[in-house]
Amino acid sequence: MCEMKHTNSQGKTAETAHEDFFEEYEAMEEPEHDTKQRSVIISMLKQVISGTDLSKVTFPVFILEPRSLLEKITDFMAYPQLTLQTALKECHRERFMDVVSHYLSGWNIQPKRPLKPYNPILGEVFKCKWECPDGTTAYYVAEQVSHYPPVSCYFYSNPQSRLVIHGTFEPKSRLLGNSVVSITGGRARVLFLNRPDEEYLCTLPKIYARNVAVGTMYTEIEDTVKVRCAKTGMHAEIDFKTRRFFRGENNAVRGTIREAVLGEAALEVSGRWDREIYVARKSNIEKRSFMMKIFGKKEETGSLESLYPGAQAEKEPVSAETEKRVLFSAQEERRCEKIVRRVGEQEHNESRRLWMNVTMALRKKDYETATEEKARLEDAQRERIGSNEVTSEKYFTKGECGWQLRLFEGIEEMSPSEFEQKLRESVERSD
């Protein structure tokens, strides 16, 4: 079971109050924007043509989520238990299912109303770790390596589980009528250090803030995403669906999983990303011939257990006819709380320390102070860029294969313990 971390709230200083805020944040109710705030949004949007890139538009602070994008990315690492044993599994289909389950797990962590995380400052970093249920530790480092266009690099690893997830977020926002769409460029790469040639590539969907000017604001995810592994030939194509004119279901996902040797989809994915997501054998696949194509053996039973062995296969089918099983349950899986060093121990450019004054002002709904503090950070960034004082790429470097963590170079020659020691030093260092 994941260990929950709590902070003593006695004798609060500004820093301890800041720490307590982040512990309480996920449980906070987010009120709807009031009439005055909505009028500010409408006034701002009137000056923007539909379809315009919003990257240089200054948004009012009351629509900000009180954390940096570099920290928000960690939502996708909130369930480390899903991949703790994946590297040890011999079945490539089972490994692929674990990766898909992990990919789908992070979308249920959303603010209660559309909010925009802080745009990271060039050179900003965020670091944390997780104590996993099996006693191992996972580490995370993220850095803003480009201001315009914005590029956020991140690296997550559990060295003892041989898992690495790394990639970039390259967000763009556009106004589309009464909606704002966030187009998340970049992609995630998943690999297991004991299987260096087996890499999983994951694309990211568009996220919409609906009714930004008129109506009740809400968030929707709508797009087709892909998870694929070139070496094994496994491929998932998943549609994030939206409800249309009182038809359909909110937050729905539909998709298929196929293997190159089959030539057609074998499994169907369905459900809701905020509740439960299921996997089932496609009804149009003849059971025996399908399994013979995979295994080449007549004696195979053709059950979902044969295609998808392991921990998930031990669960009772929801339907004996279709062998539908739970791929991920937001209701049953428990989040593992990340561990972040206290603000006073952080480097000057770490996210929570950097944005502390803005965050505390937002907590008090002191939007004037929040605006002033945000402007101070952004003005200082422009001055540093203009005088070439910013030294980015402290933790990451760009090579032929894209951005990667500097200490990841030469990983093939390191033992899990050696790699973990280097990661621990990176996460805990303070200059």
Total residues belonging to the chain = 431
Q: Residue 75 carries which DSSP code?
A: G
Measure the CA angle with vertex 101, ends 319 and 334; round to 5°: 90
The confidence score (pLDDT) of residue 399 equals: 79
Mean pLDDT of the chain: 82
Q: 64-78 pLDDT, tens per residue?
A: 999 999 999 999 999
Nearest-angstrom CA–CA distance, 83 and 100: 10
Looking at the DSSP bridge assignments, the partners of residue 279 are 269, 325
Average of pLDDT values for 27-52?
A: 68
The confidence score (pLDDT) of residue 414 equals: 85
Q: Which two tokens stand for residue 243?
A: 């409800």
Q: 269-305 pLDDT, tens per residue?
A: 999 999 999 999 876 554 444 444 444 433 333 444 5
Reported as a pLDDT band with limits 50, 70 and 90, residue 213 is confident
Reported as a pLDDT band with limits 50, 70 and 90, residue 406 is confident
Question: For residue 47, with 0-12 CB atoms within 10 Å meaning exposed, 13-18 middle and 19 or more buried, which class applies?
Answer: exposed
Measure the CA angle with vertex 129, ends 184 and 411; round to 5°: 80
Q: Who wins on pLDDT, 46 or 3?
A: 46
Average of pLDDT values for 150-176?
A: 94
Q: What are the backbone dihedrals phi and psi of residue 289, each rounded to the nearest 5 degrees, phi first?
A: -65, -35
Q: 327-360 pLDDT, tens per residue?
A: 999 999 999 999 999 999 999 999 999 999 999 9
Looking at the DSSP bridge assignments, the partners of residue 66 are none
Q: 312-332 pLDDT, tens per residue?
A: 444 444 444 457 889 999 999
Q: Who wins on pLDDT, 357 or 409?
A: 357
Nearest-angstrom CA–CA distance, 244 and 258: 28
The confidence score (pLDDT) of residue 373 equals: 97
Lowest mean pLDDT among 260-274, 284-298, 373-387: 284-298
The confidence score (pLDDT) of residue 29 equals: 47
Name the H helices within 256-366: 287-295, 304-307, 351-354, 356-363
The confidence score (pLDDT) of residue 37 equals: 78
Within 10 angstroms of residue 409's Cβ, the number of other Cβ atoms is: 11
Nearest-angstrom CA–CA distance, 224 and 226: 7
Nearest-angstrom CA–CA distance, 59 and 44: 8
The confidence score (pLDDT) of residue 160 equals: 96
Residues near 373 by Cβ (< 8 Å), separated by ≥ 6? 357, 358, 361
Residues near 15 by Cβ (< 8 Å), separated by ≥ 6? 342, 343, 344, 356
What is the number of H-type helices and E-type strands within the chain? 10, 18
Lowest mean pLDDT among 154-158, 207-211, 215-219, 419-423: 215-219
Nearest-angstrom CA–CA distance, 154 and 152: 7
Percent above pLDDT 70 for the chain: 79
Residue 182 near residue 216 (C-beta atoms within 8 A): no
